[in-house]
Amino acid sequence: DGGITQSPKYLFRKEGQNVTLSCEQNLNHDAMYWYRQDPGQGLRLIYYSQIVNDFQKGDIAEGYSVSREKKESFPLTVTSAQKNPTAFYLCASSIPHDREGQPQHFGDGTRLSIL
Amino acid sequence: GENVEQHPSTLSVQEGDSAVIKCTYSDSASNYFPWYKQELGKRPQLIIDIRSNVGEKKDQRIAVTLNKTAKHFSLHITETQPEDSAVYFCAARLSGGYQKVTFGTGTKLQVIP
């Protein structure tokens, strides 16, 4: 059954700690994305990757880092530089956008909280 | 960049009535407009999308209309059911090469039985 798997579902971070959120997809999609969701603010793009070994900053990349070493995987690290990390994090994938837009498929999300 | 505004932020309707959610976008170069439904604690799921070469698209009880001149698009849900209760997000994407999708802030729809 194809889809996107995010783990863990819940994550707690201590002050000064880096934490990594996992995102794996078996949809054979080249493009992957990370969004942050806060109440009343919709989805804001953190990072995106159109292809393996390439990624670009989105609108709110400060305090986050990513890697794209494999097509199936796009982990997000929330660093200690992100001072307000409490949010719901969503990973998505799609066929790469070219002339036409393509729908994005989302994972179930990871809820990150500060201890 | 693109800016998407969505209204209303909350909407309550009686079961069986229609619901309309409206979005406006700022960049006339946008050419793809998806709508996502997100139930509480779950992933957003695409429910319908429209491209700029059409003005309306229907899928059973759901329809989307696009007015390129006015730069707005709307989601229409007819004969609403309690299971339609969720948060709905509109989005817009600029044409040409890779362009990110910009989301609206969401509408929380409550269908009252």
Residues of B in contact with A106 (CB under 8 A): 36, 43-45
Residues A103 and A2: beta-carbon distance below 8 Å: no
Higher pLDDT, A100 or B74: B74
Q: Is the pLDDT of residue A91 over 90?
A: yes
Tell me what pLDDT residue B29 has.
87
Tell which A residues from 3 to 62 touch B, by Cβ distance under 8 Å.
40-45, 48, 50, 58
Mean pLDDT rounded to a whole number for chain A: 91
- Residue B53 CA to residue B22 CA, distance in Å, equals 19
Cβ-count burial of A35 within 10 angstroms (0-12 exposed, 13-18 middle, 19+ buried)?
Answer: buried
User: Average pLDDT for residues B20-24, to the nearest whole number?
Assistant: 98
Three-class secondary structure of residue A40 per DSSP: coil
- Residue B50 CA to residue B64 CA, distance in Å, equals 7
Q: Which two tokens stand for residue B84?
A: 């339609």
Tell me what pLDDT residue A16 has.
85
Q: Is the pLDDT of residue B97 over 70?
A: no
Element (H, E) at A78: strand A76-78
- Residue B97 CA to residue A103 CA, distance in Å, equals 15
User: Average pLDDT for residues A80-84, to the nearest whole number?
Assistant: 89
Higher pLDDT, A79 or A40: A79
Tell me what pLDDT residue B99 has.
67
User: Average pLDDT for residues A86-115, to the nearest whole number?
Assistant: 87
Interface touch B44/A107, C-beta < 8 Å? no
- Residue B27 CA to residue A61 CA, distance in Å, equals 23
Tell me what pLDDT residue B96 has.
66
Tell me what pLDDT residue B23 has.
98
Tell me what pLDDT residue A101 has.
77
Range with the poorest average pLDDT among A27-41, B10-24, B54-68: A27-41
Tell me what pLDDT residue A86 has.
94
Of residues A41, A97, A100, nearest to B105 (C-beta)? A41
Tell me what pLDDT residue B65 has.
97
User: Average pLDDT for residues B104-108, to the nearest whole number?
Assistant: 95
Higher pLDDT, A11 or B98: A11
SS3 string, chain B, reads CCCEEEECCEEEEECCCCEEEEEEECCCCEEEEEEEEECCCCCCEEEEEEECCCCEEEECCEEEEEECCCCEEEEEECCCCHHHCEEEEEEEEECCCCCCEEECCCEEEEEEC
**The residue count for chain A:** 115
